[in-house]
A and B are shown apart, each in its own frame.
Chain A
Amino acid sequence: QQKVQQSPESLSVPEGGMASLNCTSSDRNFQYFWWYRQHSGEGPKALMSIFSDGDKKEGRFTAHLNKASLHVSLHIRDSQPSDSALYFCAASEPQGGRALIFGTGTTVSVSP
Chain B
Amino acid sequence: DPKIIQKPKYLVAVTGSEKILICEQYLGHNAMYWYRQSAKKPLEFMFSYSYQKLMDNQTASSRFQPQSSKKNHLDLQITALKPDDSATYFCASSHGTGVYEQYFGPGTRLTVL
Contact surface of A with B, Cβ cutoff 8 Å: 2, 32, 34, 41-46, 49, 51, 88, 90, 92, 94, 96-105
Contacts and interface: CB of A to CB of B under 8 A. Distances in A.
B99 A92 contact: yes
B64 to A, nearest CB: 15
Contact of B101 (A49, A51, A102, A105): A49
Contacts of B97: 96-98
Contact of B104 (A44, A94, A99, A104): A44
Contacts of A96: 56, 97
Contacts of B58: 99
A46 B97 CA distance: 16
A42 B90 CA distance: 10
B104 A43 contact: yes
17 contacts: A34-B101, A41-B106, A42-B107, A44-B104, A45-B104, A46-B103, A49-B101, A88-B43, A97-B97, A97-B100, A98-B50, A98-B56, A98-B97, A99-B58, A100-B102, A102-B43, A102-B44
Contacts of A92: 99
Contacts, number: 61
Secondary structure dominating the interface of A: loop
| Residue among A32, A44, A45, A49 having the largest count of chain B Cβ atoms under 10 Å | A44
B86 interface: no
Given A43-B90, A97-B98, A98-B97, A105 B48 contact: no
B113 interface: no
B14 interface: no
A97 B101 contact: no
Given A96-B97, A101-B45, 14 more contacts: A41-B106, A43-B4, A43-B92, A43-B107, A45-B103, A49-B99, A88-B43, A92-B99, A96-B56, A98-B48, A100-B33, A100-B45, A102-B45, A103-B42
